[in-house]
């Protein structure tokens, strides 16, 4: 029968509890020895071990074998431990403790104060396996609770193999946003040669802002420094400002970029948006950016926009600067002001309109020209029903435009013009009295309509187009349109669209011959289901021939499989397939097929494959493969793509899941691969 000894000794401020299978008390040395399942508890401190020696007056604890020390929320395990309850200092041997995002072990762990911990031959990892897949090793560590850890040196081991060595490092350990150095990375670039990037310090300025200072060292170019300011306050403002400066040595040259954005909710519900985008030369981004999509940007756009919306209207004021890196052209908008009035109704009568003033300077640095234009549009309509079933919608529009000059250079050219239209249509329904299979009933919706448009002829020979405002051509034409929808109601009362067929033809009264336009017909089958079929045609009524045709088949389907009968291993897959064929008279027919397949390959592997090709020529335009693997505490992704011109690329990345900043990318492995 197990025997428990419990000794209560009242001290100055609290009570110390002892528990063990065997307990020995030596009054001469004021010492308590606990053997077998020993426990000592005082306040928020609990110590468990195979055996414990406790000196009552000195309040010293010695614990041996299977030691566990719990102080408030912190837990430390080890082989042996010495601890002073008065000073709360101590040392453990082969100790292990859980810290934020991982586990910390050390051959010797010294608790200097409540906030400082010194460690000899320490290791840190977020992997909970033994032995871990990876760990960071340091001969000397100093951990300041709620602040940072200082180490020298720092070595990353993967499966006991050293991978990275840094002679000195320190990093934050407190929760939430914290100041500290970020993880650097190194690699190879055809422009820069070998590089050491992201030597960065992250500085928390306040609850609303932080700034990152970065230094990049390159073999062939020199040094690049950067400052990145990020700020955000909920429902008030949000922004970023990034400045980089590169000092190149061969040849000696200084290059730079200034980029940023700002969003701000102003008083009285006004909203401001701003963007900065300036570079010193056209190849700076291509040579220094690590993002391929950035290399394709050939226009640098900066702007300031102030907007406001009401229930009935909205306004927007835009100032914008656009610079083309290839042509060196410049376009500056100062300003572009728009005021839009939404649809305002009085009974059946409704009206909407807009006002705009645009002033722009464009050209090159050697030749710049400034132009301006003012425009107003008003549209009014009065829809009504004729004989209850016929919808009539007359519309009248006015456009007034003031150009800064005409084609002869005379100032203030004014043009106004109106246009009118009349639309007449109806909707006719037909229901079946029977059903087939899963269908209870069928419905056919027939929508015929006739529209007539008129714009008078007006002399606009002096007009010099600008800002999207140009000559308005006269119109005197009618159009007949017919729409058909075929629906079915299932026995579950769900309604699905089986097919839609639409067509139309126009008649231009201003033409002297061939007044009818081509007849356009479009149709779709099962547009609401995962498998869709659509087609479109144009028919020339004078040549009596089909001028163009296009067919499209698309499928988007998701499904699940239980792997090898194991219902716990559920695999999800999705397939998206699209095929399109088009043919226009006088041109070679073209076809295009694309496919995207995604899903889980195994419990830990997932992937996707995409293909874009011309099936008639079996020419592949682009294909890509992406794989991702869960490696317990690590994750890995691989992406490969190939273009029709033979250009291909790959991207490989492996990172620690709990420490996403610690990752290896393609650039790291480039150091060991031939170029």
Which of 297, 330, 363 is a domain's end point?
297
Are 241 and 154 in a shared domain? no
Mean pLDDT of 650-658: 73
Are 129 and 235 in a shared domain? no
Q: Do the domain assignments include residue 305? A: no
Quick one: pLDDT at residue 454?
97
pLDDT digits (tens, 9 = 90+) for 338-377: 999 999 999 899 999 999 999 999 988 778 899 999 999 9
Q: Do the domain assignments include residue 163? A: yes
Which of 247, 269, 297 is a domain's end point?
297
Q: Is the pLDDT of residue 665 over 70?
A: no
Are 164 and 185 in a shared domain? no
Are 133 and 29 in a shared domain? yes
512 CA to centre of own chain:
55
Are 608 and 549 in a shared domain? yes
Are 21 and 159 in a shared domain? yes
Bridge partners of 641, per DSSP, are 624, 649
Are 162 and 241 in a shared domain? no
Which of 297, 320, 338 is a domain's end point?
297
Query: In Å, how far are 204, 361, 486, 641 from 365, measured between CA atoms?
Result: 41, 11, 61, 40
Are 13 and 151 in a shared domain? yes
Q: Do the domain assignments include residue 220? A: yes
Provide the whole-model pTM.
0.66
Mean pLDDT of 81-105: 82
Are 151 and 238 in a shared domain? no
Q: Do the domain assignments include residue 337? A: no
Provide the residue range defining the domain that includes 10: 5-172
Are 133 and 218 in a shared domain? no
pLDDT digits (tens, 9 = 90+) for 526-546: 877 778 889 999 999 999 999
CB atoms within 10 A of CB 29: 10
The domain that holds 80 is classified in CATH as: 2.60.450.10
Tokens of 630: 């869960």
Q: Is the pLDDT of residue 308 over 70?
A: yes
Mean pLDDT of 639-658: 75
Are 94 and 190 in a shared domain? no
pLDDT digits (tens, 9 = 90+) for 503-519: 999 999 999 999 999 99
Mean pLDDT of 190-214: 81
Q: Is the pLDDT of residue 5 over 60?
A: no
Rounded Cα distance, 29 and 33, in Å: 11
Mean pLDDT of 251-259: 89
Q: Do the domain assignments include residue 381? A: no
Q: Is the pLDDT of residue 662 over 80?
A: no
Instruction: Give burial (CB, 10 Å; 0-12/13-18/19+) of 568.
Output: exposed
pLDDT band at 671 (very low <50, low <70, confident <90, very high): very low
Query: In Å, how far are 237, 350, 390, 402, 643 from 426, measured between CA atoms?
Result: 50, 21, 5, 40, 51
Are 17 and 75 in a shared domain? yes
């Amino acid at each position: 029968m197990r025997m428990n000894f419990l000794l209560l000794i009242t001290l100055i401020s609290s009570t110390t509890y002892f528990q063990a299978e065997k307990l020995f008390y030596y009054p001469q040395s004021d010492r308590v020895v606990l053997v077998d399942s020993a426990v000592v508890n005082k306040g928020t401190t609990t110590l468990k071990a195979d055996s414990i020696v406790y000196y009552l007056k000195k309040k010293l604890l010695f614990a041996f074998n299977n030691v566990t020390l719990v102080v408030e929320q912190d837990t430390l395990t080890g082989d042996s431990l010495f601890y002073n309850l008065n000073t709360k200092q101590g040392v453990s041997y082969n100790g292990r403790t859980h810290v934020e995002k991982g586990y910390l072990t050390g051959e010797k762990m010294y608790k200097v104060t409540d906030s400082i911990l010194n460690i000899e031959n320490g290791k840190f990892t977020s992997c909970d396996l033994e032995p871990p897949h990876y760990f960071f090793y340091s001969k000397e560590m100093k951990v300041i609770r709620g602040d940072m850890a200082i180490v020298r040196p720092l070595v990353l081991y993967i499966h006991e193999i050293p991978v990275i060595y840094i002679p000195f490092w320190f990093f934050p350990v407190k929760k939430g946003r914290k100041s500290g150095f970020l993880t650097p990375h190194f690699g190879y670039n055809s422009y820069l040669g070998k590089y050491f990037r992201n030597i960065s310090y992250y500085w928390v300025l306040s609850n609303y802002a932080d700034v990152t200072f970065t230094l990049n060292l390159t073999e062939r170019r020199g040094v690049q420094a950067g400052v990145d300011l990020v700020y955000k306050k909920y429902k008030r403002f949000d922004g970023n400002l990034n400045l980089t400066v590169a000092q190149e040595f061969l040849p000696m040259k200084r290059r730079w970029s200034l980029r940023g954005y700002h969003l701000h909710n102003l008083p009285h519900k006004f909203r401001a948006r701003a963007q900065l985008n300036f570079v010193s030369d056209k190849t700076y981004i291509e040579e220094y950016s690590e993002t391929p999509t950035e290399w394709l940007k050939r226009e640098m756009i900066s702007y300031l926009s102030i907007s406001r919306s009401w229930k009935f209207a909205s306004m927007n004021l835009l100032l914008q600067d656009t610079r083309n890196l290839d042509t060196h052209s410049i376009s500056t908008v100062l300003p572009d002001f728009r005021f839009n009035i939404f649809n305002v109704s009085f009974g059946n009568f409704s009206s909407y309109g807009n006002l705009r003033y645009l002033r722009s300077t464009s050209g090159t640095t050697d030749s710049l020209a400034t132009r301006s234009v003012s425009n107003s549009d008003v549209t009014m309509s009065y829809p009504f029903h004729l004989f209850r079933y016929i919808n009539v919608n007359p519309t009248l529009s006015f456009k007034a435009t003031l150009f800064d000059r005409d084609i002869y250079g005379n100032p203030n050219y004014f043009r106004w013009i109106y246009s009118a239209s009349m639309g007449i249509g109806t909707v006719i329904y037909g229901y079946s009295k029977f059903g087939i299979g899963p269908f209870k009933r069928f419905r056919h919706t027939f929508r015929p309509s006739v529209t007539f448009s008129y714009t008078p002829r007006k002399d606009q020979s002096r007009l010099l187009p600008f800002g999207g405002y140009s000559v308005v051509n006269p119109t005197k034409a009618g159009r007949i349109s017919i729409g058909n929808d075929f629906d079915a109601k299932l026995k579950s009362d769900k309604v699905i669209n089986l097919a839609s067929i639409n067509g139309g033809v126009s008649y231009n009264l201003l033409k002297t011959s061939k007044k009818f336009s081509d007849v356009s017909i479009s149709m779709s089958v099962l547009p609401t289901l995962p498998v869709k079929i659509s087609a479109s045609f144009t028919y020339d009524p004078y040549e009596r021939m089909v001028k163009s045709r296009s067919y499209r088949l698309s499928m988007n389907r998701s499904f699940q499989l239980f792997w090898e009968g194991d219902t716990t291993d559920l695999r999800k897959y999705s397939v998206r397939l699209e095929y399109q064929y088009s043919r226009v008279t006088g041109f070679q027919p073209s076809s295009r097929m694309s496919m995207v397949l995604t899903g889980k390959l195994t419990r830990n592997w997932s992937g996707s494959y995409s293909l874009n090709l011309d099936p008639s020529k079996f020419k592949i335009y682009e294909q890509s493969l992406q794989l991702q693997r869960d490696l317990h505490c690590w994750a890995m992704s691989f992406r490969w793509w190939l273009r029709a011109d033979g250009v291909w690329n790959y991207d490989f990345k492996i990172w620690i899941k709990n420490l996403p900043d610690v990752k290896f990318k393609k650039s790291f492995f480039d150091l060991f691969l031939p170029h």
